[in-house]
Amino acid sequence: MDQYIRIGESTVIESLRRFVTAVVDVFGEKYLRSPNENDTSRLLAIRQRRGFPGMLGSLDCMHWRWKNCPNPWHGQYTKHEHEPTIILEVVASHDLWIWHAFFGLLGSHNDINVLHRSHLFARLAEGDALEVNFIVNGNNYTMGYYLVDGIYPQWVTFVKTITNPQGNKKKYFVKAQEAVRKDVERAFGVLEAQFAIVRGPARMWDKATLRKIMTACVIMHNMIVEDERSEDEDEDVHYEGVGQLVRPTPPEVRNRTREFHEFLQAHHNITNRQIHAQLQQDLIEHLWQHYSDMYQY
C-alpha cells in the first residue's frame, strides 16, 4: 500500500478500525436485529412451504483462523484445526440473511459450549420472545425450532438429523432436513466469498477489533442480501395457517415474585427431551405424507 498509494500500514489499520466501528454503530440496529413479528410470520410461511412448519432458521458455527494470536493464548484457542481460531455462531434463513450472530469464543470450544454462552435463547427463557404456536401431524407446539447437526442437544428448539436412519420415512426426513439445513452452510460460504478478510486468516492482535470486523462483515452481508432480494420474491407466500404468534406479557404487568420460577420453567420446557422426540417423529410423518415429491432420491 505504501508503494502504490502512499499510505502507511499503521494508517491503513487505523482506517480499517474506524470504518468497521462506523458500520456497526450506524447500521447494526437495522441489520443485526432479531426477527420482529412481520419477519417471523414471513419466515414461518416460507418454511412451512418447504415442509418444516414452525422452523425459525438453520443454526451452526464456523471457525475463523487467527494468524496473529498471542503465543500465551495458543492453547485455549486451538482445537482440531491445530491452529488458533475464533468461533462465529449464526442463524441463517433461506435467502442467506443472518438473523443471529455471536462471535468471539475460543476456538477450543465445540458448538454446545458456544450455545450455552450465546444469547440465542435468552429472550425465550426470560419470557420476552414471541411465542410461536403451530400444529404438526395433529399435535400443538408453542416454540419455534432450528435445524442443526447431530452435535447439538435434544432440546425442543432443535430438530436434528438421524444417524443411520432405518426405513424410508426416516431416510426421507434426513434427506429433507439436511437439504434445508444447508442454508447456514451457504451463508458461511457466501460470507467468505464476499469478504477476503474473513476468508483469510485474521491478522489483528486484539479481540475487540476482530469482533468489530466480523460484525461489520455480517452487517454488509445482510445489506447485499437485501439489495439483491427481488421485490416480488415472496408474493405467492400465504401467511394464513402458518401458526400463531403470541406477544409476551409486558414487564410492567408481570408478577415479579414469580419471575424466577417462570424462568426455570421456561428453561425446563426448552430442554424437554420427550417433546423433542415427539416433534421429530411428527415432522417425519408430516414430511412423508405431504412433501414426498419435493426431495428426490
Average pLDDT of span 254-278: 72
What per-residue confidence (pLDDT) applies to 99?
A: 92
Express as a percent the part of the chain with pLDDT over 70: 82
Q: How many domains are there within the chain?
A: 1
Give exposure, 115-138, as e/b (b: 16+ Cβ within 10 Å).
Answer: beebebbeebbebebbebebebbe
What per-residue confidence (pLDDT) applies to 232?
A: 55
What per-residue confidence (pLDDT) applies to 254?
A: 54
List the single range of 50-64, 144-158, 224-238 with lowest mean pLDDT: 224-238
167 or 187: which leads in pLDDT: 187
Residue 255 is assigned to a structural domain of this protein = yes
Residue 21 is assigned to a structural domain of this protein = no
Does residue 297 surpass a pLDDT of 50? no
Q: Identify which of 31-40, 122-131, 238-247 has the greatest average pLDDT.
A: 31-40
Residue 139 is assigned to a structural domain of this protein = yes
Residue 4 is assigned to a structural domain of this protein = no
pLDDT digits (tens, 9 = 90+) for 85-134: 999 999 999 999 999 999 988 888 888 888 888 888 777 766 666 778 88
Residue 234 is assigned to a structural domain of this protein = yes
Q: Which three cell numbers stand for residue 210?
A: 476482530
Closest CA to 45 of 90, 93, 91, 92: 93
Mean pLDDT value across the chain: 83
Residue 121 is assigned to a structural domain of this protein = yes
Residue 19 is assigned to a structural domain of this protein = no
List the single range of 5-9, 17-21, 105-109, 210-214 with lowest mean pLDDT: 5-9
Residue 194 is assigned to a structural domain of this protein = yes
Segments forming the whole domain that contains residue 111: 31-290
What per-residue confidence (pLDDT) applies to 125?
A: 67
List the single range of 8-12, 75-79, 257-261 with lowest mean pLDDT: 257-261
Average pLDDT of span 202-210: 90
